[in-house]
Amino acid sequence: MSVDLRSKDELRAEKRKNRTGIFLITPGLLVLALFFALPVVILLAMSLYSKPPGAEVGEFVPGLQFSNYATVLSAYWPELLRSFWFALISTVLALLIGFPMAYLVAVRLREKTLLQGILLVLLIAPFFSSFILRTQAWKQILADEGFVAQTLKFIAILPADGHLTATPFAVVAGLTYNFLPFMVLPIYANLGRLDTRLLEASGDLYASPITSFAKITLPMSAPGVFAGTLLTFIPAAGDYVNSALLGNNRDTTMIGQVIDSRFFKIIDYPGAAALSFVLMVSILILVTIYIRRFGTEELM
């Protein structure tokens, strides 16, 4: 039998504290309700609307037309799969490129504060210019008459009539580049707290640098890697700027582009809503599996 031993005053104080908590959390909840929950509900409702026969373009009536989902899924499953595939490749590439960068800045240059500061600014610098502009720059870099394509043609890696823009390669490269800072920064933040004395200790105990890395650095940086992969994968899967600017019309179309064209070109709001909802749910499922499998406690 348990008896609450706290006095009435204590209980009252406890209650007041709870009330303060609720009071403080209310604005946040309201913002979320208004700008996230409500739009999602509207999106879901919209995805079930139907088009009455002979209706004007853009005119739909409320309904429960679940076949909207079947229609868009059967038509656009390749684009959906391709989005996740491209996002996965660019996440892995961003990790392979970003981890050494973060490691260099956060651990190796820890003593040299000036250099560390400069490199950190360079890492964040791309954020100072527009996303679209940076993607356009890639178009110029990879252009047929540009240096990269000409060089690759010269050393015969690229066939004479080949090109780099308007290819899956360009889209994945653009995605990787554009989301790289989202990978580097969380890993950097994490490695910045890495206690290098542990590495010294493992060295003293005759661990090779590789073993030290695998047993200490990598596990310690796992929360950063985890956050970085999520921050890269999720926006990359829904991105449409890279595929629109750097892709072609054959084998690079991503789901964001399809949603854009259903919404703005075909004026099929229910179809666009259904696809958006499918995208949201599939990302949610993938991320849940990922968290279950690899998740660290810090993020749960």
Q: Which residues bind another protein (CB under 8 A)?
A: 42, 46, 49, 51-62, 75, 136, 139-140, 143-146, 161, 163, 165-166, 245, 248-250, 253, 257-258, 260-269
Tell me if residue 22 falls in helix, strand or coil.
Answer: helix
In a 3-state reduction of DSSP, which class is residue 50? strand
Distance of closest approach, residue 56 Cβ to another protein, in angstroms? 5
Closest CA to 242 of 176, 144, 156: 176
Shortest Å, Cβ 141 to another protein:
11
Which one, of 221, 230, 226, 229, lies nearest residue 189 by Cα? 221
- Taking residue 12's Cβ as centre, other Cβ atoms within 10 Å add up to 11
Q: Which is nearer to another protein, 188 or 240 (CB)?
A: 240
**Closer residue to another protein, CB minimum distance, 57 or 205:** 57
In angstroms, what is the C-alpha Rg of the chain? Answer: 25
Q: How far is the CB of 188 from another protein (least distance, A)?
A: 35
Owner of token pair 């005119």: 59
With respect to another protein, which residue has the nearer C-beta, 28 or 58?
58
**Minimum distance between the CB of residue 271 and another protein, rounded to whole angstroms?**
9
Q: At its nearest, how many Å lie between another protein and the CB of residue 173?
A: 16
C-alpha span between 189 and 167 (Å, rounded): 34
Could you tell me the smallest distance in angstroms from the CB atom of residue 268 to another protein?
A: 7
Q: How far is the CB of 261 from another protein (least distance, A)?
A: 4
Q: Which of 236, 223, 233, 227 is nearest to 286 (CA)?
A: 233
Other beta carbons within 10 angstroms of residue 104's beta carbon come to 15
SS3 69: helix
Q: What is the 3-state secondary structure (H, E, C) of 189-209?
A: HHHCCCCHHHHHHHHHCCCCH
Tell me whether residue 92 or residue 260 sits nearer to another protein (CB atom): 260
**Min dist. Cβ of residue 144 to another protein (A):** 5
Output the CA–CA distances (angstroms, integers) from residue 92 to 66, 148, 297, in the order listed.
36, 23, 22
Give the ranges where 104-167 is alpha helix by DSSP (H): 113-124, 131-142, 147-154
Position 260, amino acid? D
